[in-house]
Amino acid sequence: MTVVVGTDTAKTRRTLSVGAQSVSYYSIAAATEAGLGDFSKLPAALKVVLENMLRFEDGGRSVSLDDIKAFGEWASKGGKNPREIAYRPARVLMQDFTGVPAVVDLAAMRDGIVALGGDAQKINPLNPVDLVIDHSVMIDEFGNPRAFQMNVDREYERNMERYQFLKWGQTAFDNFRVVPPGTGICHQVNLEYLAQTVWTDKDHNGDMVAYPDTLVGTDSHTTMVNGAAVLGWGVGGIEAEAAMLGQPISMLIPEVVGFELTGRMMEGTTGTDLVLKVVELLREKGVVSKFVEFYGEGLDHLPLADRATIANMAPEYGATCGFFPIDDETLRYLRNTGREEDRVQLVESYAKENGFWRGADYAPVYTDTLSLDMGTIVPAISGPKRPQDYITLTEAASAFGKYVKGIREGEDVSKKAEVRWEGEGGAPEPVEIPGDEGHHARGYVMADGGDYQLHDGSIVIASITSCTNTSNPYVMIGAGLVARKARELGLNRKPWVKTSLAPGSQVVSAYLEAADLQEDLDAIGFNLVGYGCTTCIGNSGPLAPEISKAINDADLIGTSILSGNRNFEGRISPDVRANYLASPPLVVAYALVGDMNVDITTASLGKGKDGQDVYLKDIWPTSKEIADLVEKTVTRESFQEKYADVFKGDDKWQGVEVPQQETYDWPATSTYVQNPPYFQGMGPNAGEIHDIKGARVLAVLGDMITTDHISPAGSFKESSPAGQYLIERQVPVREFNSYGSRRGNHEIMMRGTFANIRIKNEMLDGVEGGYTKGPDGEQTSIYDAAMAWQEKGVPLVVFGGEQYGAGSSRDWAAKGTALLGVKAVIAESFERIHRSNLVGMGVIPFEFTGGDSRDSLGLTGEEEVTIEGLGDVKPLQDVPASIKMADGTVKNVTLKCRIDTEVEIDYIKNGGVLHYVLRNLASTAPIAAE
């Protein structure tokens, strides 16, 4: 990307010599000397954004001197100065679930620009893009040595069309690399290999320039790399595509909340326990759309692996990112993970020279602060359906009992307790459930592995999975040691527990094998099942048929325990209703007991080989045991070896053949990849924003509606609209795969929008799933109702509560909403990424004002909605709306338009950000920069 530097910021360019290297950089101290402001008290996270302004200042076209001076006023204004700025990240990271639709969009844009008379080669990433295939492996096979290879083989069978398409993209587009399947999870690969903390590149004069490593990613957990002082966060695919094509990210200068960490972790606790408490505290604090920066003497005792765990879960605590400044631990990690010594020395010198270093005197100004003594952290889990639902381990069993009671209260469960699995020999006697007051339902299984009872709280999935914890060798080694001690004492997993180990990178397998721990994990069922997100993204695979049948026949509250970051309703498995997040060692321990009703801090986990009771304290490793093994087995050499051929892939990937052509030849019969309709018939000019008149209500939704509710990623049934679409095309049910794997086909994804099995539309009475009322007033699927309203030419709106759009960055939650004909979403509050995605797809977000809500207005979904004043709307403007009730009365309300910036006005006028970029690229004029 060509950088045109303004006269004043040209004065800020200086030279840094590090060993034999000599590089230019943009000096924040020099900016102060040039009279642009005092930046000395800015948090390091904000200095990264300031450096971006200095490097891209161009006399006002996208970055002006006033933008830079606004940073100088930030500290004096109490850590607030919400000026709109244009930010350009250095690179983009993708995974395949979100990456496939992004590449689909780029391919469609090539078709679109040709149709507008432009050059297809103008559609090329201007910034480096890495796509890691990590979301497609599913746990079909588990608990045996063949599991990994069988799951990989099945993955290629299911996803060959997608992989051919991605490999075509790798050859067709510049600056686009693909990390093949079976390598690892994108965030872990990013942290362990791709990220450099300080980046270098040549400018338009051929001079080498050093600058902070920054990125955006099409996955909300892109924030993980902030643990290594790399500023990055998740965006929707549409926003990422715009960034690839040179469009700056429009944002407000953020507030930065300082989170002070003091003390050090106590014996028996893990980084997972710490992050679950951090999530709870920050959710309570309220940090949506804010940066969080961690500081304090506690960082001196916090390994980077633990920092990355905390940074990873920024979406769970609602922040844009959770940032850790560069310090000695950053350098240690870079060295240990195989980065070149020249790079490590550059990181240190650049950070100290340009004010990014966290030393003993680091004391920036923050917008607000909070503090946590890490010595107070105790073992904990989180659940049953939100990451912020923190529970100390000692309270876990009783908390689950209360959850069950809340569901079962008032139900007659006596009949359900009589359910039996058909088979010879009868069913075993019911077991006593601690604290059971008649609220637990029970079912019985008679299987080859023995006869046993399932009941509310039976753990049917225990999975060591996700980038969040498998990137942390301390908890992974800890899990292996728990397995070793359990095995030595004669314990094993319960037969109804589906166990799995899906590391985030091959390095994890290398050190588990070097420590001889993989054999112990295998012995109790935690065999390697693949390198990918698996259970955390909903690719947990099917349960054994007899277990699934028992759960569904008796309407049991089956549970899962996973070392992931997400446990939203309907995400992990259709057979599981309660999901708990925990550290990998606790996942192993819970697999041994197989029951959430058991207090594992005091109760026996089972009988050992000598008939003795075995307790958690008997199998829990000491911090020294873990640290000694980490020191011995997690080596620089293992990182260098495993990442030596990271883009090469296995024989299967190398055998994928693709045509060499600049536009994609869309296969008409494909059910995975289809040319989306976004740009078809698009003219060269933007339109105007029109008032929304006489819109009908598609759904009335509650609080904390996540993007998983709006656009689920997991499996779907034959009876669903998406399932019927595939059946009509002769796709057998076993080949359905998942919503996530089919995001390259808009027909599937439209039918899957608002189709989560646990979503509740308040227009209906207690009904779960993707249903609403159609134009005839009868219950029907969301998709069928939307199509019926479209045929009548009637616009649609959706109502929601607080934190609408929480969770994943998935752009399909916005794309599907737009394709269903929804013109506006009206909620009490929005999460950051989804609000941006809605605007990017031409859907306008509105917030209630003055205490109004769907409840206070008594909305039933029978209303007609008109929103006016949009023709000349300004960012964050209040606009009038009228709601015509079913009885003909009209309620007039005021809504805040959540088009937040001027450039977003242009996006809406164009029908979306990609339309805006495409029109600019197709014109003879240069790209508009704002």
The mean per-residue pLDDT over the stretch 644-669 comes to 89
pLDDT tens digit string along 39-50?
999 999 999 999
Domain that holds residue 32: 7-71
Residue 448, pLDDT > 80, answer no
Q: Are 218 and 94 in contact (CB under 8 A)?
A: yes
Q: Which amino acid is at 814?
A: A
Angle at 292 between CA 290 and CA 293, to 5 degrees: 145
Q: Kindly state the percentage of the chain with pLDDT values over 70.
A: 94
Kind and range of the H or E element at 728? Answer: helix 721-728
Question: Is the domain of 503 the same as that of 582?
Answer: yes
| Predicted local distance difference test score (pLDDT) of residue 418 | 42
Q: DSSP code of 927?
A: P
Evaluate whether residue 839 is within a structural domain: yes
Q: Which whole number is the average pLDDT over 1-18?
A: 70
Whether 618 contacts 413, CB under 8 Å: no
What average pLDDT score do residues 623-652 get? Answer: 93
What is the pLDDT, as a whole number, of residue 135? 82
Who wins on pLDDT, 332 or 538? 332
Answer yes or no: is 778 within a domain: yes
Residue 51 has pLDDT above 90, yes or no: yes
Domain boundary among 51, 71, 91: 71
What is the rounded CA–CA span in Å between residue 457 and residue 600? 14
Residue 229 lies in a domain: no
Residue 434 has pLDDT above 70, yes or no: no
According to DSSP, the residues that pair with 371 across neighbouring strands are 260
CA distance 784 to 838: 22
Q: How many helices (H) and strands (E) does the chain have?
A: 32, 34
Q: Is the pLDDT of residue 487 over 50?
A: yes
Whether a cis peptide bond, with omega within 30° of 0, leads into 43 is no
Q: Cβ(906)–Cβ(916) under 8 Å?
A: yes
Cβ 570 vs Cβ 758: under 8 Å: yes
pLDDT band per the 50, 70, 90 thresholds, residue 245: confident
Nearest to 393 by CA among 381, 403, 404, 405: 381
Q: Quick one: pLDDT band at residue 235, thresholds 50, 70, 90?
A: confident
Residue 611 and residue 710 in one domain: no
Supply the pLDDT for residue 423: 40
| Per-residue pLDDT band at 928 (split at 50, 70, 90) | very low
DSSP conformational letter for 798 = E
Length of the chain: 930
Give residue 679's identity as a one-letter amino acid code. F
What are the pLDDT digits (tens) for 568-604?
777 888 899 999 999 999 999 999 999 999 999 999 9
403 and 516 belong to one structural domain: yes
What pLDDT score does 41 carry? 96
Tell which of 34, 54, 71 closes a domain.
71
The predicted pLDDT at position 61 comes to: 60
Predicted pLDDT of residue 2: 41
d(CA 552, CA 714): 18
Confidence band of 97 (pLDDT split at 50, 70, 90): confident
Residues 891-899 have a mean pLDDT of 97
3-state DSSP percent of the chain in helix, strand and coil, to 5? 35, 20, 45
Asked whether residue 830 falls in the same domain as residue 723, the answer is: yes
Paired with 130 in beta bridges are 93, 177
Measure CA of the first residue to CA of the last residue in the chain; give whole Å: 16
- Structure tokens, 88: 């350009």
494 and 460 in contact (C-beta within 8 Å)? no
What's the pLDDT at 921?
A: 84
Residue 926: its pLDDT value, please?
38
Question: What CATH code is carried by the domain that includes residue 787?
Answer: 3.20.19.10
DSSP character at residue 141? S
CA 283/CA 192 separation, integer angstroms: 28
The answer as to whether 430 is a domain residue is: yes
Rounded CA separation 95/813 (Å)? 16
Return the number of other C-beta atoms located less than 10 Å from residue 631's C-beta. 10
Q: If you write DSSP's letter for every residue of 564-584 in order, what string do you get?
A: SS---TTTS-TT-SEEEE--H
Is residue 217 over pLDDT 90? yes
CATH number at residue 568: 3.30.499.10
Q: Which residue has better confidence, 372 or 927? A: 372
Residue 682 has pLDDT above 90, yes or no: no
Q: Report the domain count for the chain.
A: 3
d(CA 135, CA 467): 11
Amino acid symbol at 681: G
- Position 4 scores a pLDDT of 45
Do 594 and 698 have their domain in common?
Answer: no
Are residues 488 and 605 located together in one domain of the fold? yes
Q: Which residue has the higher pLDDT, 914 or 800?
A: 800
549 and 424 co-located in one domain: yes
Pick left, alpha or beta for residue 184 (phi over 0 → left; psi -120 to 50 → alpha; otherwise beta).
left
Specify if 927 maps to a domain: no
753 belongs to a structural domain? yes
pLDDT score of 3 more than 70: no
- Helix or strand or coil: residue 487? helix
Residue 437 counted as domain residue: yes
pLDDT tens by residue, 400-431 = 988 888 888 766 554 444 444 444 444 455 55
Whose structure tokens read 């990424």? 833
What does the pLDDT look like over 752-764, one tens digit per residue?
999 998 899 999 9
Predicted pLDDT of residue 231: 98
Listing DSSP states for 33-69 in one string gives HTTS---TTS-HHHHHHHHHHHHH--SSSSS-HHHHH
pLDDT at 26 over 80: yes
pTM of the model: 0.83
Residues 711 and 589 in one domain: no
pLDDT category of residue 650 using cuts at 50, 70 and 90: confident
Which range has the worst mean pLDDT, 123-127, 266-270, 562-566?
562-566
Task: Give the distance, in angstroms, between the CA of residue 408 and the centroid of all CA atoms in the same chain.
Answer: 32
Could you tell me if 608 and 699 lie in one domain? Answer: no
Q: Residue type for 11, please?
A: K
SS3 400: helix
Q: For residues 567 and 579, is the Cβ–Cβ distance under 8 A?
A: yes
Per DSSP bridges, beta strands 256-262 and 291-295 are parallel
Q: Are residues 709 and 615 in the same domain?
A: no
Are 538 and 738 spatial neighbours (Cβ–Cβ below 8 Å)? yes
168, 552 Cβ separation under 8 angstroms: no
- If asked whether residues 616 and 707 sit together in one domain, one would say no
DSSP letters, 226-252, are: GGGT-EEEE--HHHHHHHHTTPPEEEE
Residue 917 lies in a domain: no
Domain boundary among 71, 99, 120: 71
CA–CA distances in Å: residue 27 to residues 16, 40, 45, 55, 57:
10, 12, 15, 10, 13
Residue 796: its pLDDT value, please? 98
Which pLDDT does position 415 carry in this prediction? 41
Q: Are 441 and 456 in contact (CB under 8 A)?
A: yes
Q: In what order do the strands lie in the sheet with 498-501?
A: 390-392, 380-382, 578-581, 559-562, 459-464, 498-501
Report the chain's mean pLDDT, rounded to a whole number.
Answer: 90
Nearest to 821 by CA among 754, 891, 905: 754
Do residues 619 and 702 share a domain? Answer: no
Whole-number Å distance between alpha carbons of 312 and 220: 9
Residue 929, pLDDT above cutoff 60: no
